Amino acid sequence: MKNPFSEFYHVPNSKELLDIAFKKSMKSSAQVSKNAPILIKAKKKESKRIQVAIEELIDRILKIIKMVPIIDDLPDFYRELASILVDIDELKLTLGKLNGILPILNKIEREHLSRLNRIEAPKEGDQLRRSAFGRISSIINKQNKNLEYLNEIRGSLKEIPSIDYTLPCIVVAGYPNVGKSSIVKNISTNKKIEIKEYPFTTKKLNMGHLEIERRFDKIRIQIMDCPGILALRAKRNYIERQAILALRLISDLILYIFDPTPACGYTVDSQIELYKEVKQNFAKDGKIEIVIVFNKMDLMSSSEIEYLEERLNLQGDDYFLTNALTGENLDKISSYLKERYAK
């Protein structure tokens, strides 16, 4: 499914909205006979200007509201991820406030058009139009905070990855700075993932794909790069909660990455504890496979490998030994995935 917020485009502030509406209205012209009295021409001209300004504002405000999907109707993954990234209640309230000014704008239009029909001098038409524009400006300016809020949050929501629920999804998990992003970048189509040598570089979910040849067709599998997780049970920040959400709702296979060296800045025992929690909570009684990777093989010692093997009750064929920065042995992971999903 395409990211439901992908069409959440730039939201203009109140000044931008008013400038657009008023400029368009002042360029508009009413169809009036050349022989019509000046008073009739004034009524028609100013009525048209008011109508155009209000119609333009209502159209643009409705477009802003419609850019945001109905949150409660979204699939669980998108609904919950949106609630992690932004305050959904505040978002709904903001959209409600914008929607609430539409009948007020319509009322201003009706009142001033009615008054324009009763003017007795052309200059009164200009005065009434200015009065209408003043009231319109006051109403729109009061919404500036709401408009700026929507424009502020849209960036986070537009970055939500698109998920195809018909395709398998591999979720890459583990502690921060263990090499998750480097692995996903190397084995998937997503070459834009940012790689840095310090923790918490990944602050959002990144999606890549791997194309697999089968006997009669091809299949694409999704590979999700998740932010690092420090613990499941402890209080988590919004970055970690994204990873937990991916593990809980969209994982068909979990690629769990260990760094047994001091390089990542976290102890092996803490990584093992997290692994056990992930296995207990997200393997779904063994139905979801967890593939183990020991990364940074260029830095790890034999004793560090042996310690992990012993603690996890593993043998050499039970895990992949890789160097994500150089790409060493990552082809073995790709081959394993291709063989698994080619069936």
Residue 204: Cβ within 10 Å count: 16
295 vs 257: CA distance, rounded Å: 7
Q: Which residues pair with 290 in a beta bridge?
A: 254
Question: What DSSP line would sit under 240-291, residue for residue?
Answer: HHHHHHHHHHT-SEEEEEE--SGGGSS-HHHHHHHHHHHHHHHSTTTTSEEE
151 vs 163: CA distance, rounded Å: 24
Q: In order of start, what are the domains of the chain with their CATH numbers? A: 14-158 (1.20.120.1190), 169-341 (3.40.50.300)
- 305 SS3 class: helix
Residue 192: Cβ within 10 Å count: 8
Contact between 205 and 226 (Cβ < 8 Å):
yes
156 vs 41: CA distance, rounded Å: 50
DSSP 161: P
Contacts (Cβ under 8 Å, ≥6 apart) of 55: none
Contacts (Cβ under 8 Å, ≥6 apart) of 149: 90, 94
Contacts (Cβ under 8 Å, ≥6 apart) of 140: 14, 17, 18, 57, 101
Q: φ, ψ for residue 153 (rounded to 5)? A: -85, -15
Give pLDDT tens digits along the chain (343 positions). Answer: 789 999 999 999 999 999 999 999 998 876 766 777 888 888 888 999 999 999 999 999 999 999 999 999 999 999 999 999 999 999 999 999 999 999 999 999 999 999 998 888 989 989 999 999 999 999 999 999 999 999 999 999 998 999 999 999 999 999 999 999 999 999 998 887 765 554 555 678 889 999 888 877 888 999 999 888 876 666 677 888 898 899 989 999 999 999 999 888 899 999 999 999 999 888 877 789 999 999 999 999 999 999 999 999 998 889 999 999 899 999 999 999 988 988 7
The predicted pLDDT at position 227 comes to 86
